Chains A and B, each alone.
Chain A
Amino acid sequence: QKEVEQDPGPLSVPEGAIVSLNCTYSNSAFQYFMWYRQYSRKGPELLMYTYSSGNKEDGRFTAQVDKSSKYISLFIRDSQPSDSATYLCAMSESDGQNFVFGPGTRLSVLP
């Protein structure tokens, strides 16, 4: 079993849809959870950074962490074609520790 699992997609949705992206993990010591967006042939761009369980909202993006289920989610409201990218979840055990990434989910938002 991989340490961080993520459905690779591709996931195709119409413009304006609500998108739900998810990761599961096996290491209960993970406390810091991140979502990155990566456009083709570019470096990952940080979208959300959360600590422990709970929700965090930033504009059209909402991150949820459920440590009891070892499950994290990223919701994108009113999705736009410019949201088409690969979404990577990442997590670490403590501040400053290396990140463990999921394989990424390819999202395509169709106009």
Chain B
Amino acid sequence: DAGVTQSPTHLIKTRGQQVTLRCSPKSGHDTVSWYQQALGQGPQFIFQYYEEEERQRGNFPDRFSGHQFPNYSSELNVNALLLGDSALYLCASSGLGLGEETQYFGPGTRLLVL
């Protein structure tokens, strides 16, 4: 049973560029949440997608956007990158439609903005 997968594992970008991160949820899960984890901090909630719609959003600017596909996989897009966007980006999946609320995390994508 495949767990949550994310790609790429590492990424280096420069300020002002745009980046797309990808996530495939755990088999059977239909909900994807994205978190940003700065070094030495706990994960901060960005947004959650369910049924291809953004269901909830944390306190992040509109530069952060996302998408969920019919197969439940998801993308996180960040525009106009800032140095402060350097972090580990985590995807977590759950099964809202199945009544399974527990979130399982992927290994993350480590983004470095220079």
Residues of chain A at the chain B interface (Cβ within 8 Å):
4, 6, 8, 32, 34, 36, 41-46, 49, 88, 90, 95-104
Contacts and interface: CB of A to CB of B under 8 A. Distances in A.
B80 to A, nearest CB: 24
Nearest to A36: B105
Contacts of B40: 8, 103-104
Contacts of A36: 105
Q: Of residues B42, B58, B105, which shows the largest number of chain A Cβ atoms within 10 Å of its Cβ?
A: B42
B105 A44 contact: yes
A98 B42 contact: no
A101 B42 contact: yes
5 tightest Cβ-Cβ pairs between the two chains A and B = A101-B42, A43-B105, A98-B45, A95-B101, A43-B107
Interface core residue of B44, B55, B105 (most chain A CB under 10 Å): B105
